[in-house]
Amino acid sequence: MTRIDRRFEKLRSEGRKAFVSYVMAGDPDYATSRDIVLGLPGAGVDVIELGLPFTDPMADGSTIQLAGQRALGSGQTLEKTLQIVRELRATDDETPVVMMGYYNPIYSRGVERFLAEAKEAGIDGLIVVDLPPEEDDELCIPAQKAGLNFIRLATPTTDDRRLPVVLQNTSGFVYYVSITGITGAAEAQADLVAPEVARIKAQTDLPVIVGFGIRTPETAEAIARIADGSVVGSAIVSEIAKGRPVAEVLDYVRALADGAHRA
């Protein structure tokens, strides 16, 4: 079992829903990003999604695109992203970390080398948004053999023919994208999401976590009530972009986590 598997098993046994947070590694700089990541577990985060900055983030809206630009501009690299995880693992060996990003930086490093380094650093899972299931031999299967979960996205356009293909080699959890389009767009609506979550859960025993369009504790709670948890990314990244002190960013995260945990 990975840390992700253990965390969701623990949450199930306690009758609790998950709160998952996304931040971009290196945004606005290495030290600030590291301090935020190290503070996330104490703010109530159950799973950390750590963005790997990339020059062409085609699935992301302007908020996360700009975060990636700030990170790259401050010198963030794949190696420095792994180092943030190593620093977290020095004090926290339980909170799962999922690296989220695009395939190019992984391909450039070499899949075998990347997976060995990711495992050594303490990464537990991957979300690679530009590798479809048809390319599972490229990274998904090797990652799972290396002991990392490979988390797949399902969307409102993933129909009943496509869904089994998406779920086939998915592990850890399923990330349901609540809206059609890029990150940071419209607000998630629990009444629209609920039947889609039920449709996915009818075909898998994996937890289904819902993200995109969650900005408030109230929405985090509403979404968590109809799923296994909620994900917030762009809203947190927006607080970082405003230059908020680390403590204020973590206070905002804590309020969102409290919302999800009320579900």
The model's pLDDT over 119-143, given as tens digits with 9 standing for 90+, comes to: 999 999 999 999 999 999 999 999 9
Cα–Cα distances in angstroms (integers) from residue 105 to residues 53, 99, 128, 145, 248, in the given order: 9, 12, 11, 20, 32
For the beta sheet containing 149-150, the strands, ordered from the edge strand earlier in sequence to the opposite edge, are 149-150, 125-128, 97-101, 47-51, 18-24, 229-232, 208-211, 174-177, 152-154
The confidence score (pLDDT) of residue 33 equals 98
Q: Is the pLDDT of residue 174 over 80?
A: yes
Band the pLDDT of 202: cuts 50, 70, 90. very high
Instruction: Give dist(CA 49, CA 236) in Å, integer.
Output: 12
The confidence score (pLDDT) of residue 219 equals 95
Q: Which amino acid is at 126?
A: L
112 is catalytic: no
Instruction: Give dist(CA 144, CA 83) in Å, integer.
Output: 22
Task: Tell me how many domains the chain contains.
Answer: 1
Cα–Cα distances in angstroms (integers) from residue 30 to residues 42, 135, 146, 234, in the given order: 20, 32, 28, 19
- 176-200: average pLDDT: 80
Q: pLDDT by residue (tens digit) across 75-124?
A: 999 999 999 999 999 999 999 999 999 999 999 999 999 999 999 999 99
Mean of per-residue pLDDT scores for the chain: 95
- 225-240: average pLDDT: 97
Catalytic residue (choose from 5, 60, 136, 221):
60
Q: Is the pLDDT of residue 183 over 80?
A: no
| Rg (alpha carbons) of the chain, rounded to whole number | 17
Any idea what the CATH number is for the domain that residue 151 is in?
3.20.20.70
Q: Which amino acid is at 195?
A: P
Instruction: Give dist(CA 52, CA 24) in Å, integer.
Output: 6
60 is catalytic: yes
Q: Is the peptide bond before 28 cis (omega within 30 degrees of 0)?
A: yes
Q: Which domain holds residue 27?
A: 3-262
Which two tokens mark 99? 């690296």
The confidence score (pLDDT) of residue 187 equals 74
The confidence score (pLDDT) of residue 59 equals 80
Catalytic residue (choose from 46, 49, 136, 196):
49
Band the pLDDT of 61: cuts 50, 70, 90. confident
Q: pLDDT by residue (tens digit) across 7-48?
A: 999 999 999 999 999 999 999 999 999 999 999 999 999 999
